[in-house]
Amino acid sequence: MIRNLLLAVALWGVLGGGALANPASQDPARVPAGDYALDKRHASLLVKVPHMGGFSKFTMRFDRIDGGFTYDPATWSDTKVTITVDPASINTGLPDFDKTIAGPSYFNSAKYPAITFVSTKAEGADGKGTVSGDLTFHGVTKPVVLDVTFNGVGPGMLGAGTRIGFSGTTHLKRSDFGVTSMSQFAGDDLDLLFEVEFVKK
């Protein structure tokens, strides 16, 4: 039975069913109204920080991200997106260093167990735009602007459900949020890069 199921899936892709998983439109007005949840398996947040004055940009990622929003295509620019990141999930590829970054001298994740972003406004056209909002990090809330590409809306795998995707970047100074440790090794300027997909509930 499993073999037959795998064969059916393969035939579906060969005969064109796989194409149904591609984004169908970059028009926000084509996104169905409803509640959308982050697909955690297809979400990534990378942070790049200059190392020792700029020899390279050391790259880290957060492994635990969650979020969602309620969408109305008639008022898409007012959509309020909420994203939560667990600062203890920082992943540098070096477990001992992860504990240092998450610890009291840097992120202090025990005292500040969540990094949150709540949007206030979205603007754009032709799949490109900005999302403005409030970022709370290390107990400090500051306005930030995300440069965002709307990758599109379309059916999910095998044509099931509705899926939308975004790519984006932003830039901030960690000192603005009171994170100033290890300044002799790490620069103040952070580049954030994210890739996210949401699915309609």
Q: What's the mean pLDDT in 68-83? A: 96
Q: Is the per-residue pLDDT at 114 higher than 90?
A: yes
Return d(Cα 28, Cα 8) in angstroms, integer.
33
Token pair for 24: 């169908």
* Residue 47 belongs to a domain: yes
Read off the amino acid at residue 49. Answer: V
- CATH code of residue 172: 2.40.128.110
Q: Is the per-residue pLDDT at 19 higher than 90?
A: no
Q: What is the pLDDT of residue 86?
A: 98
Going by their DSSP bridges, the two strands 189-200 and 162-173 should be labelled as: antiparallel
* Residue 3 belongs to a domain: no
Which domain range does residue 57 map to? 23-200
Q: What is the pLDDT of residue 2?
A: 53
Q: Is the per-residue pLDDT at 14 higher than 60?
A: no
- Percentage of the chain with pLDDT > 90? 78
Q: What's the mean pLDDT in 16-44? A: 84
Q: How many domains does the chain have?
A: 1
Q: What is the pLDDT of residue 159?
A: 75
Going by their DSSP bridges, the two strands 90-91 and 56-62 should be labelled as: antiparallel
Average per-residue pLDDT for the chain = 90
Query: Which of the four pLDDT bands, split at 50, 70 and 90, describes residue 90?
Result: very high
Return d(Cα 156, Cα 20) in angstroms, integer.
7
Statement: the pTM of the whole predicted model exceeds 0.75: yes
Q: What's the mean pLDDT in 140-152? A: 97
* Residue 178 belongs to a domain: yes
Return d(Cα 176, Cα 196) in angstroms, integer.
26
pLDDT in tens, 158-168: 778 999 999 99
* Residue 5 belongs to a domain: no
Q: Is the per-residue pLDDT at 99 higher than 90?
A: yes
Token pair for 33: 């109204």
Q: What's the mean pLDDT in 4-29? A: 58
* Residue 81 belongs to a domain: yes
Environment class of residue 201 by beta-carbon count within 10 Å: exposed (0-12), middle (13-18) or buried (19+)? exposed
* Residue 10 belongs to a domain: no
Return d(Cα 83, Cα 44) in angstroms, integer.
12
Residue 156 DSSP one-character state: -
* Contact present, 67 and 81 (Cβ < 8 Å): yes
Q: What is the pLDDT of residue 9?
A: 43
* Residue 2 belongs to a domain: no
Residue among 169, 162, 67, 72 at smallest CA distance from 128: 169
What residue has token string 């008639």?
A: 74
Highest mean pLDDT among 57-66, 159-168, 180-189: 57-66
Return d(Cα 17, Cα 11) in angstroms, integer.
8
